[in-house]
Each structure stands twice: as C-alpha cells, then as structure tokens.
Structure 1
Amino acid sequence: RNKSSTNDVALSSIIASGDGPTVLASTSNVPHTLDLSTNKELVRMIKERVDEEVRAKKEELEAELQRRVTAARQEMEVGIRCQVEMQLRDEMVNCQKRERLNQDRSSKKQQYDTKKMNFTASATKLEQTIKKLQSELSTLNSTCADQEIEKADMEDFFTKVKSNPNYAEDLVTKISETEEETKKLKEELTNVKKMEVDNAKQMKIWNSLKKLLECKIQIWHEANKTDS
C-alpha cells in the first residue's frame, strides 16, 4: 500500500510537469523509491499519458501548420488575385487604347482615302484643262504665225506697189495667165480621161479578140489530131 501511494505521487509529479518522455529520461524529478521495471501498471499509464500528450501536441502542431498553410495560401491567393486583377486592368486599358487607336486609324484612313480620291479627280480635271489650253495655245500660235506671214506678204505687196506703179497691172496679167493655164490644164485632163476610156474599150476588144483566136487555134489543133 505504501508502495502504491509512492507510485501515484511519482505519476502525479510526471503528469504535472507536462514533459512526458523528457521527464522519463531524467530521474531527477522521480523519487528513488519508484521502480518502473516492477510496476507495469504505472508504465502503461505513463505510456498512455505520454502518447496522449504526444498526440495532442501533434494535433496542435498539425492544426497550427494547417492554419499557417491556409493563411499563406490565402495570402498567396490574395496576392495572385491582386496581380491578375492588375494585369487584367492593364490589359483592358491597353485594349481600350488599341480600340481607340484603331478607330482613329480607320477615321483618318477614311479621310485620307476621301482626300486622295478628291485630289485624283481634281488632278485629272486639271490635266484635261491643261491639255485643252495647250491645244488652244498651239492653235493660237499657228494662227498668229499665219497672220504674221500674211502681214509680211501684205507689207511686201504694198512695198512693191509703192515702188512700182505697174506692179498691180502685172499681177492682174499674171492672174489672167494663170487662169488661162488652169483652163487649158482642165481641158487636157478631160481629154486624157476620154482617151483613157477609149483605150480601156480598145483593150477590152483586143482581149476578147485574143481569146477568140486562141480558141480557134486550139480547135484547129484538135481537129488535126482527130484527122491523123
């Protein structure tokens, strides 16, 4: 009985210390009268108590580890979420900028195409106007040149008339002679045309006569062949 009381006191001191196996490894807090090798019940109780303390400590550590892991995961998720939100916000801003730039580009391209089309039409119209003006200028230059020639001829004519009073009469005489020559040439041309007609008729008659003679010669040869 005294031995059982001593064991209970020793177990109580070990349990009160809360160190479990550490206390078992050191015999400084255990009375020298405690004999663990002879008291199996005490050993079992100590082992169960130690196992319970170890299990509780393990569960506490696992719970703490799980809490820290959860907190770290939540913190990481918050950080990742913030980073993703920032990236999405930046991407959205960039998309809006790109959309505005595309709209500006489309608007400016449309303006450019319109101006280019108007410029092309204006340039074509101006080219046509320039060509027309150049043609008119060429005609005017030719007309001016002809007028200058006529003016020079008139001045030369009046100069000759002034220097030679009979120049006008000479011109009238030359004009009359030219008209007479023209009349004669027309008559000769008419005669030539008549001669051409007569020659054509004669050539036609001659060709017909030639064909007729060739036919007679051919018949004569055939007749000679038949007689022989």
Structure 2
Amino acid sequence: MSNITRLLQLLFILSLTVISGCSTTTSNVHDVMKEVDRSDLSYINIAVTGAEIQTALQDSGRLFELHHRSAEVLNLIQDVVRYYGFNLVDEDEADFVLDIQQALPDGGACVHGMESFRDNFTYSTSVLTLGIVPAKGAHCIVITAGLYTEYVDDSTAIGEFISNTGWVRIYAGVGEIDNYRKTVTKRDEIRALEASAAGLLNLLIEEGAFK
C-alpha cells in the first residue's frame, strides 16, 4: 500500500470523526471564581430554588436542549454556590432566594470576543464539500435567575440576572452543526454550566445585590 493511499485513508477516518461532531471548551469555574472577593460570603444565608428550570431553546424550528434535566441543573448550581462559600440553606431559613428560571444553550447567538461563533466561511465551505470540511459553531450556556430577599413571610424582588460566561465550541459536518445533543458532550456541558453559574454569582457580588 502506497504512502498516498495510507494518507487518504487517514484523512477519510479523520473526516468521519469530525462529521460525527465534537466539542471543546476552555470554560473553567475556578478561573471565574478568582475574579471576585469571596471572603465574606459565609455570612450570607441563601437558598437556591428552581421548580421547573427551562433547559431547551426552540429557534426557527431547531431545538437546542441540554443533556441535563432541570433537577440536575439545580443541583449543579447549588454545588457552585457552596464552592463560593455561601451558607446554602433551605428556603424557610434564607435571607436571600436565588430562583433559577433558565439554563439553556443560546443556539449560537452569543459572540466570544470579536469573533462570531457561527463562522460563515467554514459553514459555506462545509456545504460545498457536503460536510467533509467541518463547520464551526458554539453555544453559550445562558442562566437566568431572579434574586429575592426573604423576611418572615415577606418576599421582595431585587432583580433578574443573566449570565452566559460558559461556552462550548463545536465542530461538525454541516448536517449536524445544529444538533446540540449530538455535537456537545456532557462533560463540556457541565464545565460550561458551572462557568455560567459562577458568572451569575460574580454579577450578584459585583453589583452589591447581597448588601
């Protein structure tokens, strides 16, 4: 077998791997946590709730849905709150309640730096080559939550807060680029969810929401 034949076989195998879709991310909850002062958070009694967290986005007939269910997302966000050093308590013991409303992919709408996540050149090239050349895309994981103060039986809304700090880059054939569950791994999704949860907490801290 000639070297050219071996090279062609290798390229064919690699193309099949890419066409099937893959993801990557540099989102890291620990990096996001370092951006704020967390020294006094243990004095804050907070409950994190989310009865029915929206985990899917439907856009132009396409469905972008997390691998993780609502209850799993809530547990993950509660874990991040613990990492930060907050005193996580039940709702009836809380001074603040963070109610998670949404945790979902944005369908590639976000922009990372100056680069659009949907790279039109590679997308067009993928179309022309029937998917042999992979298209690039990405999803930011958007978390939306309402923060409330709790005093006896009285609840007062402080505001709604949104974070899309966590993101996942995807590579796939043009026919799979919009198939979130096929292209994004659960591991990368967890890392992006954790980073977005940390970004949400950073926003609350920086805006003095707990004062």
| TM-score (normalizing by structure 2) | 0.21
**Which structure has the greater CA radius of gyration?**
1
Q: Pick the structure with more strand per residue.
A: 2
Q: Pick the structure with more helix per residue.
A: 1
Report 1 or 2 for greater relative contact order, CA contacts < 8 Å, sequence distance ≥ 6: 2
